[in-house]
Chains A and B, each alone.
Chain A
Amino acid sequence: KAGVTQTPRYLIKTRGQQVTLSCSPISGHRSVSWYQQTPGQGLQFLFEYFSETQRNKGNFPGRFSGRQFSNSRSEMNVSTLELGDSALYLCASSPGQGVNYGYTFGSGTRLTVV
């Protein structure tokens, strides 16, 4: 059974550009969550999608957005990149929504903004 797939694995972008990251969940999983991880802040929640609807959003500026497609695949977009956006971006998929479901992480996309 395939795991959670994130593409690309590595990305280098210039300040001011925009970027789109992709996450394909485990087959049958309908919930996808996105996280930003930096050495200083640890893991921080960005947003969660379930059945193509954003169910929860973390405390990030509007430059961070996402969506989920009917096949549960999800994308996140960061516009007008800043140096501080350099981080590991992780997605996790879960069979359902709620605290009592386990979740599986992808390997992440490491974004470097120069």
Chain B
Amino acid sequence: KNEVEQSPQNLTAQEGEFITINCSYSVGISALHWLQQHPGGGIVSLFMLSSGKKKHGRLIATINIQEKHSSLHITASHPRDSAVYICAPDDKIIFGKGTRLHILP
């Protein structure tokens, strides 16, 4: 069974700060998803990556398959980035507990 650990669990930062959220897992995978959930429940898939790095606007996701580790970075953070970020290694079955991010204006 793939054990998933996300850190930090909670993060409060000032607007404009660089944010890093980490995800480690125990069993080798071929792809990993990063999800974003805003208050109210809706979940959006941000990235699916199997190697290297992907960038979408101010969001950057990296993965090291050998080290079983992925990171999600947010540059120039904004209050609208406040949400729960969830990593999902493996086949949409296992999820991290999420990182609750709060960006202060």
Known contacts: A43-B86, A99-B30. The answer to whether A105 contacts B94 by CB under 8 A is no
Cα–Cα, bound, A58→B1 (Å): 12
* CB contact list, B64-86 vs A, under 8 A: 86
B29 interface hit (Cβ, 8 Å): yes
Stretch at the interface among B12-20, B53-61, B95-103: B95-103
Asked if A103 and B95 sit within 8 Å, CB to CB, the answer is no
* CB contact list, B1-53 vs A, under 8 A: 29-31, 33, 35, 41-45, 48, 50
Asked if B29 and A105 sit within 8 Å, CB to CB, the answer is no
Chain B residues near A58: list those with CB within 8 A: 93
Asked if A42 and B96 sit within 8 Å, CB to CB, the answer is yes
Question: Pick the contact of A98 from B91, B97, B98 — CB < 8 Å?
Answer: B91
Chain B residues near A110: list those with CB within 8 A: 41
Question: Pick the contact of A92 from B29, B41, B86, B92 — CB < 8 Å?
Answer: B92
Q: How many residues of B contact A (CB 8 A)?
A: 23
Cα–Cα, bound, A90→B42 (Å): 9
Asked if B95 and A42 sit within 8 Å, CB to CB, the answer is yes
Known contacts: A48-B92, A56-B93, A99-B91. The answer to whether A90 contacts B48 by CB under 8 A is no
Known contacts: A99-B31, A99-B90. The answer to whether A43 contacts B95 by CB under 8 A is yes
Chain B residues near A103: list those with CB within 8 A: 33, 45, 92
Chain A residues near B33: list those with CB within 8 A: 102-103
Minimal beta-carbon separation of A92 from chain B (angstroms): 7
Question: Pick the contact of B50 from A88, A92, A100, A107 — CB < 8 Å?
Answer: A100
Asked if B96 and A105 sit within 8 Å, CB to CB, the answer is no
Residue of B nearest to A88 (CB): B41
Asked if B92 and A45 sit within 8 Å, CB to CB, the answer is yes
The interface of chain B, by Cβ under 8 A from chain A, is 29-31, 33, 35, 41-45, 48, 50, 86, 88, 90-98
The interface of chain A, by Cβ under 8 A from chain B, is 33, 37, 42-45, 48, 56, 58, 88, 90, 92, 94, 98-100, 102-105, 107-108, 110
Sort A-B residue pairs by CB-CB distance and give the 7 closest, nearest first.
A105-B43, A43-B95, A99-B91, A45-B93, A42-B97, A108-B41, A99-B31
